[in-house]
A and B are shown apart, each in its own frame.
Chain A
């Protein structure tokens, strides 16, 4: 019996959400009185032994360049082999785009119940029950997994990492690899921008900002805070901002430490994507804006007057 975590990589680097998943897996292992191991596919540049600080004892690598891009079918078969070789009973993914593509397939392959969007450690006092978000973050469901093997896909930014000392043993895992059926012909990444789903701070603008030419205050504050930028749906729909910045019920659901909303009314569909943020700040000129009900801090005021002062104060704070 052990716990196996899938470490997701892009461009040879392990994604931040995988560190959370690794630490979460180690915690489950501790809870079950066993150890946590990890699997990583593709060629990786990071120091894998260092994964030990997250509580992982052993990292299995399949460093084959044909695995650098995700093919859910091919990945699933390899992960299933690693599950068999390690005897893992609990398999952990980050519930990011890779986890969402692979975990459901693995669930079928291993006849293992899947909880996707988990936000807490399993409750193992009576069976195996995991809390997950439902209704786009407006509620939680406690899901009992009734199968022998269990798969959990952990929501990014929902588990606080606690590192310890230690290095992991790195071993090559020899897997039989099928040819990928999905050919990745192009990858376009927004360079220099913080990834929205992994960002700790998100600065977001709504229709209250009047036009794309006014986004300087959003991007400037984001730059100073090392934050990602986001927007409400109408803002993306009218092409003031790119679609991938749209957060909410029909956009991306995020859970940063700080969500800074400027000129956004706080419609229920918008809140559905951001209400898991730990701290919400709202700048809106309308004291009746629904967003204030979901906020931790707020200023009732004109963003065009308030924001320059906030940016100045942050600049001072950061000594920039």
Chain B
């Protein structure tokens, strides 16, 4: 069993969102970078659990990014995983990134490729599906539970208003979200061990960029809250009905 987990780097969830260069670039000054929570908490931890259940399993990580990604890759290796690949590029187009991941995935002939459900900065939820199409593999998105049954995966995925259980023969690509696993903290042994695990840097393969970011905007500021007295909550209902017209 060979597993590839896709790891992306995102600003910390409390990072101030601001833009520079005439609103064309995220203002990264002073921002703390983390592993995208869906990749870390769910995709990676579930993959580590699969490896714990089957010590012969091989677990690789891939990140498409510049050298700035190395701290988060090392952290991921500290949680678990045998080795990591970094494809050295800062391109931001989803298809371009997916093409890089697909090239690594093809080379390694993985049984399973895990991604997070989405990056918390770009919110694309697209790279998993693109990788699956590039590899011509089945894709199960929004997985909340994943189990192996021989050469099949039994996956529970979120659908509107509920969940469905899917069965698919491996290899497959799965995007992971809450429910898959519980967040872990790397321990000292993991952190020490991660320093010597292989982190292979490769150059990008040729691929098109289908999209580009023209600019960013921030939402208009709220007008401010209208407070209603706790003595008279009925007034709130009246405002919602007559002024906001939402009930």
| Chain A contact residues, CB within 8 Å of chain B | 10, 15, 17, 69-73, 76, 95-98, 100-109, 111-117, 129, 131-147, 181-190, 193, 195-198, 201, 225, 243-244, 246, 249-251, 253, 257-258, 268-269, 272, 275, 278-279, 281-282, 292-302, 305-307, 309-310, 312-314, 317
Whether B98 is near chain A, meaning CB under 8 Å from some CB there, is: yes
Q: How far is the CA of A92 from the CA of B196 in the complex (A)?
A: 47
Minimum C-beta distance from A212 to chain B (A): 19
B210, A112: Cβ atoms closer than 8 Å:
yes
Q: Can you show 10 pairs from A to B with CB atoms below 8 A apart?
A: A106-B133, A113-B95, A116-B124, A117-B124, A142-B215, A189-B161, A193-B161, A253-B123, A292-B225, A306-B230
| Chain B contact residues, CB within 8 Å of chain A | 11, 13-14, 17, 19, 37-38, 41, 94-95, 98, 120-130, 132-134, 136-142, 144, 154, 157-169, 178-179, 208-219, 222-223, 225-230, 233-234, 236-241, 244, 246-247
Q: Specify which chain B residues have a CB less than 8 angstroms from the CB of A140 in the assembled complex.
A: 216-219
Minimum C-beta distance from A16 to chain B (A): 9
Q: How far is the CA of A281 from the CA of B233 in the complex (A)?
A: 12
Q: B-side binding surface: helix, strand, loop or mixed? A: mixed
B132, A297: Cβ atoms closer than 8 Å:
no
A114, B247: Cβ atoms closer than 8 Å:
no
B236, A100: Cβ atoms closer than 8 Å:
no
A314, B247: Cβ atoms closer than 8 Å:
yes
Minimum C-beta distance from A27 to chain B (A): 21
A186, B211: Cβ atoms closer than 8 Å:
no
Q: Specify which chain B residues have a CB less than 8 angstroms from the CB of A300 in the assembled complex.
A: 227, 230
The 5 closest A-B pairs by CB, nearest first: A301-B230, A104-B129, A113-B210, A189-B162, A104-B126
| Interface residue from A103, A133, A195, A243 paired with B179 (Cβ < 8 Å) | A243
Q: A-side binding surface: helix, strand, loop or mixed? A: mixed
Q: Specify which chain A residues have a CB less than 8 angstroms from the CB of B240 in the assembled complex.
A: 258, 279, 281, 297
Q: Specify which chain B residues have a CB less than 8 angstroms from the CB of A253 in the assembled complex.
A: 123
Given contacts A268-B13, A279-B244, are A114 and B225 in contact (CB under 8 A)? Answer: no
A279, B219: Cβ atoms closer than 8 Å:
no
A184, B219: Cβ atoms closer than 8 Å:
no
